[in-house]
């Protein structure tokens, strides 16, 4: 062998040996905890158990059955703890005030949404949150009603055209997503939705949204898939990047329009998200790239989440006609049966829809749109009533998907039973056993907005259609474990116009 070839082989061998030695050292010095979890392999830990694609919620349910409410995993040498019991949920999210999201999740989301509330931590997160909180305050909800009503009408039109009088199943997520996007454009940006919604075919956008959840999951479990260059190599990756490029461009146009204004708009609109972040003349309260990324973040979080909840709610009502009838009886009581039955709802009318409210709550219990809340542990914390030490540097995943199905807090947990929420929950419940919008200072900034929008959309379509099942219960359960819960197969329902169904 030539001397240079020998040298090359030696260098490669020593480099590999060096990498293995470092990984081995990281592995043997990894933190240990007294928490049950699946057996590990040296160096990779439990990574191989998460390599299947897609990872669905069944996976964590199986682990939960085996290991209980507190489980430990190793992503390589990194310790990951999954928390289901409300006592521990309370300790992580409320008492210990863990506010930093973990790097696995934030770095997988960053290529798409950039520097916004979802990905930022520390003082930059605080500054963004302080600015954005008031723009979704409950006292502004009345201002959003018209935008929600228009979004609900759009959803109705789309369901009517997709389902051809009830002959074909309609893809609810796509229709609800675009309805929610239209509402967001008017309510938060104050711009004509047709100018802001990316000029792409709707089915492309909705496919991109579903694929992105799978992709984020892959990027979390396989860090080597995080490179943007790799993403561009696949048609799926290119479609997703194209969607975000369009969204960013649309948002930049909105910022430019607002910057071109010479004076403030009417008092009613001054606390809108865009008006808060950009002043007339173009002065911005954050660096302009962060304003853009925040608007993209909010557009994504405000639309996909509510569309997922509405899809699940309609599929569950189709599977439970007794509750669908109860909701419609309530709508008739509130809106009457006269010529203006289909009118836009007022805040007072919406507040009196208690059955519908319970249906939404029960939907979010069974299928919490955000199934896991990831946190970074920056100081040692004690869980399991002080019996288990979780060391600094670990990642903790609070899992509402598991918490909401614990039988001691929700008897017969797999039953869709909105009456659990109808009379107010009984005294047995734990304050942290139900957390669809998270808890603590990093909870959902748009929770009030979301609750009202979902109610308006559902009140609009339930007065126009009878829903019959297409997706089965098993289809609803077959959902991707990602940032938001997405069924592997799109949710479909048959929508029969009410005059035709004779009801």
Stretch that binds ligand HEM, among 82-90, 248-256, 411-419, 439-447 (CB under 6 A): 439-447
The H or E element containing residue 75 is strand 70-75
CB of 285 to ligand HEM, least distance (A): 17
Residue 349 CB-density burial (10 A; 0-12 exposed, 13-18 middle, 19+ buried): middle
Stretch that binds ligand HEM, among 18-26, 163-171, 409-417, 444-452 (CB under 6 A): 444-452
Complex with ligand HEM: residue 456 or 496, whichever CB lies closer: 456
Task: Give yes or no for a contact between 157 and 148, defined as CB atoms under 8 angstroms apart.
Answer: no
Neighbours of 284 (CB within 10 A): 16
What is the Cα–Cα distance from 393 to 390, expressed in whole angstroms?
A: 9
Nearest to 195 by CA among 205, 182, 208, 204: 182
Main-chain dihedrals φ then ψ at residue 79, nearest 5 degrees: -85, 125
Residues 6+ positions from 72 with CB-CB distance below 8 Å: 33, 35, 36, 37, 79, 80, 81, 82
CB of 498 to ligand HEM, least distance (A): 26
Q: Binding residue for ligand HEM (CB under 6 A) from 153, 220, 334, 369? A: 369
CB of 43 to ligand HEM, least distance (A): 29
Q: Binding residue for ligand HEM (CB under 6 A) from 114, 345, 446, 490? A: 446
Q: Three-state SS string across 140-158, please?
A: HHHHHHHHHHHHHHHHHHH
Q: x/- site string to ligand HEM, residues 122 to 141, per CB under 6 A?
A: -------x------x-----
Secondary structure of the chain: what % helix, strand, coil (to 5)?
60, 10, 30
Complex with ligand HEM: residue 129 or 222, whichever CB lies closer: 129
Query: By three-state DSSP, how is residue 436 classified?
Result: coil
Q: Binding residue for ligand HEM (CB under 6 A) from 84, 291, 296, 298? A: 298
Chain residues 34-63 in contact with ligand HEM, contact rule CB under 6 A: none
Q: Binding residue for ligand HEM (CB under 6 A) from 205, 309, 356, 456? A: 309
Task: Give yes or no for a contact between 362 and 320, defined as CB atoms under 8 angstroms apart.
Answer: no
Asked if 449 is part of the footprint of ligand HEM (rule: CB under 6 A), the reply reads yes
Main-chain dihedrals φ then ψ at residue 466, nearest 5 degrees: -100, 135
Complex with ligand HEM: residue 205 or 445, whichever CB lies closer: 445
Stretch that binds ligand HEM, among 16-24, 274-282, 369-377, 404-412 (CB under 6 A): 369-377
* Cα 484 to chain centroid, rounded: 4
Asked if 370 is part of the footprint of ligand HEM (rule: CB under 6 A), the reply reads yes
What is the Cα–Cα distance from 349 to 343, expressed in whole angstroms?
A: 11
Asked if 443 is part of the footprint of ligand HEM (rule: CB under 6 A), the reply reads yes
Asked if 450 is part of the footprint of ligand HEM (rule: CB under 6 A), the reply reads yes
Q: Which residues bind ligand HEM (CB under 6 A)?
A: 101, 117-118, 129, 136, 297-298, 301-302, 305-306, 309, 364, 369-370, 373, 436-438, 442-446, 449-450
């Amino acid at each position: 062998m030539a001397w240079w070839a020998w040298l090359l082989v030696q260098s490669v061998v020593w480099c590999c040996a060096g990498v293995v030695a470092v990984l081995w050292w990281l592995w043997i010095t990894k933190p240990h905890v007294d928490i049950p979890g699946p057996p590990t392999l040296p160096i990779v830990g439990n990574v191989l158990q998460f390599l299947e694609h897609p990872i669905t919620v069944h996976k964590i349910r199986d682990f939960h059955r085996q290991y209980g409410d507190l489980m430990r995993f190793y992503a390589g040498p990194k310790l990951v703890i999954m928390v289901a019991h409300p006592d521990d949920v309370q300790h992580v999210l409320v008492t210990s005030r863990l506010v930093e999201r973990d790097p696995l999740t934030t770095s997988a989301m960053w290529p798409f949404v950039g520097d916004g509330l979802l990905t930022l931590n520390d003082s930059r997160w605080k500054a963004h949150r302080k600015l954005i909180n008031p723009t979704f305050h409950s006292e502004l909800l009345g201002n959003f009603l018209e935008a929600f009503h228009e979004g609900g009408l759009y959803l109705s039109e789309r369901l009517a055209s997709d389902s051809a009088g009830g002959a074909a199943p309609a893809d609810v997520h796509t229709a609800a997503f675009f309805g929610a996007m239209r509402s967001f454009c008017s309510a938060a940006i104050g711009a004509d939705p047709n100018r802001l919604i990316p000029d792409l075919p709707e089915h492309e956008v909705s496919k991109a949204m579903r694929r992105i959840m799978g992709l984020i999951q892959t990027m979390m479990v396989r860090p080597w898939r995080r490179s943007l260059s790799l993403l561009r190599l696949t048609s799926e990756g290119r479609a997703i990047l194209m969607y975000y490029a369009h969204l960013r461009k649309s948002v930049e146009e909105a910022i430019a329009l607002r910057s071109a204004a010479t004076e403030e708009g009417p008092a009613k609109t001054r606390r809108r998200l865009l008006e808060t972040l950009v002043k007339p003349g173009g002065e911005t309260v954050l660096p302009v790239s962060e304003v853009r990324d925040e608007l993209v973040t909010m557009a994504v979080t405000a639309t996909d989440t509510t569309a997922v909840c509405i899809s699940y709610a309609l599929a569950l009502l189709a599977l439970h006609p007794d509750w669908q009838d109860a909701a419609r009886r309530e709508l008739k009581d509130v809106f009457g049966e006269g010529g203006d039955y289909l009118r836009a709802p007022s805040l007072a009318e919406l507040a009196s829809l208690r059955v519908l409210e319970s249906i939404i709550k029960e939907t979010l219990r069974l299928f919490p749109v955000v199934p896991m809340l990831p946190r970074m542990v920056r100081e040692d914390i004690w869980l399991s009533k002080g019996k288990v030490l979780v060391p600094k540097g670990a990642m903790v995943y609070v899992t509402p998907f598991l918490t909401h199905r614990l039988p001691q807090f929700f008897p017969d947990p797999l039953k869709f039973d909105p009456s659990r929420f109808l009379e107010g929950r009984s005294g047995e419940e734990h304050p942290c056993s139900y957390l669809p919008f998270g808890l603590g200072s990093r909870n959902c900034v748009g929770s009030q907005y979301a609750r009202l929008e979902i109610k308006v959309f559902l009140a609009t379509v339930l007065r126009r259609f009878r829903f019959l099942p297409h997706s089965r219960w098993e289809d609803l359960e077959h959902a991707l474990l990602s940032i938001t819960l997405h069924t592997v197969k799109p949710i479909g329902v048959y929508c029969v116009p009410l005059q035709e169904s004779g009801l």
